[in-house]
Amino acid sequence: MVEPHLLPKPVSMGLMAFQRGAAGDNDPTIPAAGGIGIVSIPFALASGGWLSIIFLFLISIAACYTGLLIKRCMDKDSTIESLPDIGQRAFGDKGRLLVNIAMNCELYLVITGYLILEGDNLNKLISHFHVDIGGLRITGTQCFVLLSALIILPTVWLEDLGKLLSYVSATGALASIIFLCSLLWNGTIDGTKLHSKGVLFNWKGVPAAVSLYAFCYSSHPVFPSLYTSMKNKHQFSNVLLVCFTLCTLVYAATAVLGYLMFGSEVESEITLNLPKEKISSKVAIYTTLVNPITKYALMLRPIVDAVKSVLPNHYNKRHKLTHVVVSSILLISTVVVALTVPFFGYLMSLVGALLSVSASFLVPSVCYLKISGTYKKLGCEMIINYSIFFVGTAIAAFGTYTSLLQIIKHLKL
């Protein structure tokens, strides 16, 4: 049992319910997507079939291993404090730039997914809602995306998010447990029942399934901050193992429950399948709705800092005004993307395949090979890391292609 004082500050890693500070290399850790990954995990299992859950466990093992590689990179150079530092140590300024781009793009698409999630679930609770303006009909989902953005807007104007960080980070793990319990309640007591047999395996759905599984393990960019904040750094490996084990068990349980309840009919957000009149359904939906609103500003902050860092100095002299303008423009841009590409499952699949795989699997593996010099030595480490690189590249290629194909297909409909 890992003692509480050995866990990273300000909170433990919980169920990987937080992610990273991205653009600003020394930014505080940022609560993550943890919470929205669990919503789409039953859809991932439904896409690939029962046997595809094997990939969830394989990805979990690989993710845990690459997490340990980050620690090893940091042990070889005490000046490393972030994932971009690792990129620079391995490949210079270009390495830092590429890592920062991947992390910021991932953050941007994740917060866009937050807005889609809000719109879909509010529309589930308040169905048949729409607004007609001058012959133009705005659907309920679109209205709720706009409403969510208005509610979130004041939070992105805040500059000091330090106090909010620990509370929001802690709620991520709690939200995942509440969500799983409410789903179990719904499937066993509240009337939905566990009845679906499902499909054993579906080759065509494997790229989407694997991409969504990978999206659930995208916390690696926060690991350097967690490692440096620990009092007893030698316990990092144990903490990592415990957290990945708990995380994987919760994800697997949610995936199996959701697939048993709704089979191939499960939506990209399982909350859309739940009968809204049931108390358990409302608990699950409300939990899903609260998380994005509380986390959006924290996830946006690194992107805001990255944009401000490239602005001319005279803009940054008016620091508060610049912060408000930049954060507002970025929020508006995510609203536009959410309204244009309102496909939560396919968008998160794209994030998982293209960006999560890059930041959490390829970067640690490739950088470790370079920093340690292992790429020159034929052995077990070299074979494992090259395997992760080639398999990760294949997942990124096929997953990205499949996700983009689905997005384009639905945009044409």
Reported as a pLDDT band with limits 50, 70 and 90, residue 412 is confident
- Comparing 2-6, 213-217, 318-322, 360-364, the range with the smallest average pLDDT is 2-6
For residue 309, pLDDT over 90 is answered with no
- Supply the pLDDT for residue 349: 94
pLDDT score at 208: 94
Q: How confident is the model at residue 1 (pLDDT cuts 50, 70, 90)?
A: very low
Q: Does the pLDDT at position 263 exceed 60?
A: yes
| CA distance between the termini of the chain | 52
Q: Residue 148, CB half-sphere, CA atoms under 13 Å: how many?
A: 34
Q: What is the pLDDT of residue 241?
A: 93
Average pLDDT of the chain to the nearest whole number: 85
Looking at the predicted structure, is the pLDDT value of residue 190 above 90? no
27-74: per-residue pLDDT in tens?
A: 433 334 445 788 999 999 999 999 999 999 999 999 999 999 999 999
Q: Confidence class of residue 165 from pLDDT cuts 50, 70 and 90?
A: low
Residue 314 pLDDT greater than 80, yes or no = no
Q: Rounded to an integer, what distance in angstroms lies between the CA atom of residue 54 and that of residue 243? A: 19
The DSSP bridge partners found for residue 131 are: 138
Note whether 385 and 368 are within 8 A (CB).
yes
Token readout for 188 is 């066993």
Q: Provide the pLDDT for residue 251.
A: 94
The predicted pLDDT at position 379 comes to 83
Give the Cβ contact number of residue 243 at 10 Å.
24
- Structure token digits, residue 305: 């800092």
CATH of 38-412, one of 3.40.50.300, 1.10.10.10, 3.90.1150.10, 1.20.1740.10: 1.20.1740.10
pLDDT given at position 187: 86
Range of weakest confidence among 1-5, 96-100, 189-193, 276-280: 1-5
| 3-state secondary structure at position 136 | strand
Instruction: Give the confidence band of 4 by pLDDT, cuts at 50, 70, 90.
Output: very low
The residue among 404 and 31 whose pLDDT is bigger is 404
Amino acid letter for position 142: Q
**What kind and span of H or E run contains 229?**
helix 223-229
Range scoring the smallest mean pLDDT among 19-23, 263-267, 396-400: 19-23
For residues 31 and 168, give the distance between their C-alpha atoms in angstroms, rounded to a whole number: 7
Range of weakest confidence among 68-72, 373-377, 406-410: 373-377
Q: Calculate Rg over the CA atoms of the chain.
A: 21
Least confident of 144-158, 161-175, 339-353: 161-175
Query: What CA–CA distance (Å, rounded) separates 144 from 114?
Result: 12
Q: Which of 350, 372, 362 is nearest to 65 (CA)?
A: 362
- Peptide bond preceding 10 in cis form (omega within 30 of 0): yes
Question: In the predicted model, what is the mean pLDDT of residues 89-115?
Answer: 93
- Record the tokens describing residue 244, joined without a space: 């990945």
Lowest mean pLDDT among 157-166, 324-333, 359-368: 157-166
CA 17 to chain centre: 9
CB of 176 closer than 8 Å to CB of 285:
no
Give the residue extent of every domain in the chain. 38-412
Phi-psi region of 134 (alpha: psi -120 to 50; beta: other; left: phi over 0): left
Using the predicted structure, report yes or no on whether residue 114 has a pLDDT greater than 90: yes
C-alpha 50/C-alpha 6 separation (Å) is 37
Name residue, tokens 């990092």. 236
Contact 268, 48 (CB under 8 A): no
* pLDDT value for 170: 60
Instruction: Calculate mean pLDDT across residues 334-345.
Output: 95
Q: For position 192, what pLDDT does the model report?
A: 76
